[in-house]
Amino acid sequence: MRSFARTGGRLKGRWAMALAVHGHRYLVGADGDGYVDTLQPEEFSLRGLFPDVDAPLVLEVGSGGGHQAVAYAAANPGRNVLAIEVWREGLASTIWHAVEAEVTNLRIVQADAAALLGHALPDACAAEVWTFFPDPWPKLRHRKRRLVNEGFASAVARVLQSGGVWRLATDWEDYGRQMRDVVTASPDFRTDADGWSPRWEGRVLTRFEKKGTAAGRAIRDVTAYRI
């Protein structure tokens, strides 16, 4: 089962321009017009993706508009950032901000994150994986669609190097508890004593976090370390 619902129609204005003019620079598999159909896992390879192939790799699952990925890439030129997103406007937004920030160590892939981490990416290829504010699927009958579960934890563990970090955050209390329970139950990770962690200073304040805070929801962070 896919871990996402593909969204986004025809783009206009600066988003369309970003894809058309700069898509080939940042978007894995983009054609000359900046368009890419959702990549299948067997079509993906890290080979030749970044200028510095030996730099530590950071994966952001569900990068949204790209604010986190671009800010981190700009502040950490010695690291490679691979943003995974299916929302077409989010892809265009990420490219727009990447061009403005003049980053070269960022790439974006439109693909099923569960499949990409599950078997397409090489084993132990990443120094960090981020899962910030994934779709909460708040209705009880929809919670089986949530990304962070035992199977996804195994996929994250597969791509993380020993000592690598999985950073998670949500503004939904019950999803935060689910995240905490998943990682503390996994034999592949260790966490702090109670499973919670302070807000990571490297995470920028995105609209998702602002929206949750404005609604009076507490932000929950979980940090897991690959054993």
Q: What is the pLDDT of residue 9?
A: 56
Cα angle, residue 198 at apex, residues 195 and 202 outer, rounded to 5°: 125
Provide the 3-class DSSP secondary structure of residue 153. helix
- Out of 135, 174, 181, 192, pick the active-site residue: 135
Pick from 16, 40, 12: nearest CA to 28 = 40
* Domains with residue ranges and CATH for the chain: 33-226 (3.40.50.150)
Where is 166: in which H helix or E strand?
A: strand 160-170
Higher per-residue confidence, 212 vs 115? 212
Q: In 102-136, which positions are buried (b, 16+ CB within 10 angstroms) versus exposed (e)?
A: ebebbbbbbbbbbbbbbebbeeebbbbbbbbbbbb
31 pLDDT band (50/70/90 cuts)?
A: low
**Tokens 């994934």 found at:** 134
Mean pLDDT value across residues 106-130 = 93
pLDDT at 109: 92
Active site annotation includes 135: yes
Q: Residue range 204-208: average pLDDT? A: 93
In the predicted model, is pLDDT for residue 6 greater than 60? no
> What is the rounded average pLDDT of the residues 153-172?
98
Q: What is the pLDDT of residues 55-94, one digit of tens each?
A: 999 999 999 999 999 999 999 999 999 999 988 899 999 9
**124-153 average pLDDT score:** 96
Comparison of pLDDT for 39 and 183, the residue scoring more? 183
| Extended beta strands in 28-143, E state | 57-61, 80-84, 106-109, 126-132
Counting beta carbons within 10 angstroms of the beta carbon of residue 24, is it exposed (0 to 12), middle (13 to 18) or buried (19 or more)?
Answer: middle
